[in-house]
Amino acid sequence: MLLYVIRHGETAWNVLRKIQGSADIPLNENGIRLAKVTGEKLKDVSFDLAISSPLQRAYQTAELVLGNRNIPIKTDARIQEISFGDLEGVQMLHVNPAHPFYNFFADAYHYIPARNGESIYDICERTKEFYDELIDSSDLQDKTVLVATHGCALRALLQPVYEDISDFWQGGVCPNCGVSIIETKGGKSTLLEKDKIYY
């Protein structure tokens, strides 16, 4: 199985540095452009299936990457972005180390979520369940699958394939429309490309 795991294109909230999480924000004009360019560069990849977060920015990205190809897109809430609870929609231009959100990037595993939000462990648990189910699927062993997700969800999803998981962010957030390519054989996953951009 080959997995192409992509972070969604840019949104207005990305530009404004608003905490997005489970808020359902669409792609902006630049996000649409990035997804189209990425799709053009991946036009020769023979995708058999696409699975997307149900949030529209990820689903739109999957649609734009696939273009005119008649490929089914399934949705799975387990690869939806982390919920930030009461912090969603808050603009974070400068995060003071005393602010509860500070550790989200500085020390993710010790991030304490806001009320109604999820922890890093919560999102790792649900994305691992999705990943294990996907790579164990007997029907998909020889397939190529596009997975459209989000910045934090992507890092959580790919924890099983990163060599050093002590750094949750792997040096930083995956760029918009960044693509990681994973090959799985016999239950073993190999990371072929990490955060590759095509624009």
Catalytic annotation, residues: 8, 81
Between CA 22 and CA 191 the distance in angstroms is: 27
What Cα–Cα distance (Å) separates residue 172 from each residue in 135, 148, 168? 26, 19, 9
Between CA 18 and CA 23 the distance in angstroms is: 10
CA nearest to 53, candidates 81, 30, 72: 81
Between CA 185 and CA 2 the distance in angstroms is: 9
In angstroms, the first-to-last Cα distance of the chain is 25
SS3 46: coil
Ranges of beta strands (E only) in the chain are: 2-7, 49-52, 73-75, 144-149, 179-185, 188-196
